[in-house]
Structure 1
């Protein structure tokens, strides 16, 4: 890409209208796993099939994510996102027809897989787009601070979308019909993913197509420094999925199953709020150290959550868990921005985003099965295990960084 650096801020480059479009473009991605789960469970009465179907969506996302990222790195966001967004909208619109028509289970699973394979990855590509603009268009004096703000905002936007998505699914399913969340997700994919793809910032991030772009080989994406971030993001996904599902089981055991989404929102709000404050942290508080500190907060609060026996204790621990997971996620994506090989930013960001989504789907299924087979209290230990994985990987990252020095 040709660098055209000037004194304008990031928002002056993007325009204020970019941010609402990019945020809403995330919602189909945030709604699809829970929406598929809700529709299949309602239509078939089989929780097992519903869990399997949502898991297949997650597998499709993780398979396609790096491929979409590679195509974006090669051909630009517009060339890839427009057909992907339209295809995803069509497949989402057809899915209720497949399910409600009583089609055979294998066909339902194939339809779910296609939804996952066509997931637009708007969150990862928004990160990639803003990072590219900050690096190539923003003056060096403000570039580092701008990059920090980008990662803080993007992680907060992700947290908010992951909270709003399931809540929106629940509201639409309860007040309209179980197929309504998928129909709305299809409409959002048609309208907002396409608008995101065609936004002028896509051209800013892609640069001049006539200028040859240096691109590292795909093997560079699979380097140890990048894979450790993908593994840690997978751990965060395990944490999210196991927390939501175990919290649902806890609320149901207390006779308040409908409150699970609201309770989960407490963690999401705290997480998003603290993610935004990460931009205020001093540069001497290194990313390596932040991973360890906030990972430690996550482990301690998840341990408290596992030991909680009543609703007030659960609420307190959820708020504390949000204080740990939000900054941890910001840190992981900030490191990903630093470690992305030349010309492979979209590949790295979609790899991390796919890892997060797959882990959420898998951990939701495993946690739900464990809660049914044992108890909600046993299932509430799984977020602690996931948080330990994130912290252990943080320790490994610190050791690896010291060795490289």
Structure 2
């Protein structure tokens, strides 16, 4: 039986841009935690560190879709170098501000500039779409990219923290700033796989942002709700492990979530399902909501790891379905922007989930934070149901 993933790389240039894209997306999960680790060590304030990191996350959520919109209009090779240069300059400003003890406001300016980092996940997905549009292999490609996203979000944060702790506080953001241009320019070197830019005419020039489409807003809300679950799992897992005086076990729990998502994503991508996308969206939303309930019932590290593993199983397939729907819903010349809105919403959800669950934990117990995940799961189900009705 042929391996559907090996068949993806039959097209010329696919191995190159897949590897370049994997390298270029690592800086995103490295940056937020890297800023917190750096500033908590050098400025001694988690409040300041969290505020600067939140500024980066918010700036990225707002600016990355606009950068992707420019990419759709002018092409990756025209836009990505400038966006990358701005983002790297923001990191350098952050590093310089900490090195020379500049005022705190310079840190926020640096974080805003770092937020111009392009959404490399969307750039690579756009290349796969250009090659396999309308073919079953496209779902497999989206599955592979979702797994790559998971891998970078597993490896990025500990890599960044480890560098900042073991070498010097600025090391994590500095390495991220080095990896970003290397990956971006490796991707841009593969010009033959770059998506074609649509010919500019009155309709394309005057077309508004895809976020104006109600269906895209609905899918973005779905991704934000899913991000709330991820952010909650992250912060509650750490707090619960500390409550049981086994802080090292937090990494085991978080790895279980990622492993469940990666394995299910690979399996989903290998299947040739005939179920309509709107129905799969509803099923994914229902399963995601149901898997938040057992999180409230755990009593040990092992049971939490199992519950988190099961919860992670439905993350990747639901995200793949959402991306596939974007490919169907938006005009071809706005595909990158459409995907970026969903990825940005996911990142906002993760940040919000961690913040809200952290507040709940401070006011109660560690496991009380999972009520945030339960509410987010209900929101996922509601949005998936509305999507099922609208998109059928």
Q: Alpha carbons of 1:336 and 1:195: their partners in 2 closer, same or farther (altered >3 Å)?
A: same
**Which residue pairs with 1:337 in the alignment?**
327
Deviation digits for residues 371-395 of structure 1, max 9, x if unmatched? 2232212112222222221111100
**Which residue pairs with 1:16 in the alignment?**
15
**Which residue pairs with 1:139 in the alignment?**
none
Q: Aligned-pair RMSD on alpha carbons?
A: 2.1
Structure 1 residues 1-400: aligned runs within 5 Å: 11-116=10-115, 118-135=116-133, 143-203=134-194, 205-206=195-196, 211-212=199-200, 215=204, 217-400=207-390
- Number of residue pairs matched by the alignment: 384
Which stretches of structure 1, 4 residues or longer, exceed 4 Å deviation after superposition?
Answer: 211-214
**Which residue pairs with 2:4 in the alignment?**
none
Q: 2-side partners of 1:107 and 1:302: how far apart?
A: 41
3-state secondary structure, aligned to 1:178 = coil
3-state secondary structure, aligned to 1:25 = helix
Q: 2-side partners of 1:157 and 1:374: how far apart?
A: 35
**Which residue pairs with 1:401 in the alignment?**
391
Deviation digits for residues 116-171 of structure 1, max 9, x if unmatched? 1x112101111112112222xxxxxxx42111112111111111111111121232
Q: 2-side partners of 1:197 and 1:318: how far apart?
A: 38
Answer whether contact 1:10 1:146 (CA < 8 A) is retained: no
Deviation digits for residues 187-215 of structure 1, max 9, x if unmatched? 10121122223322453x125x8x55773
TM-score norm. by structure 1 comes to 0.89
Q: 2-side partners of 1:260 and 1:85: how far apart?
A: 33
Q: 2-side partners of 1:167 and 1:269: how far apart?
A: 16
Residue 339 of structure 1, CA deviation: 0.9
TM-score norm. by structure 2 comes to 0.91
Segments of structure 2 that go 5 or more residues without pairing to the other structure are 1-6
**Which residue pairs with 1:3 in the alignment?**
none
Q: 1-side partners of 2:114 and 2:220: how far apart?
A: 22
Residue 10 of structure 1, CA deviation: 5.6
Segments of structure 1 that go 5 or more residues without pairing to the other structure are 1-7, 136-142
Deviation digits for residues 181-238 of structure 1, max 9, x if unmatched? 11110110121122223322453x125x8x5577371155411111111111111221
Q: 2-side partners of 1:383 and 1:46: how far apart?
A: 28
**Larger displacement relative to structure 2 (100-109 or 385-394):** 100-109
Q: Alpha carbons of 1:297 and 1:396: their partners in 2 closer, same or farther (altered >3 Å)?
A: same
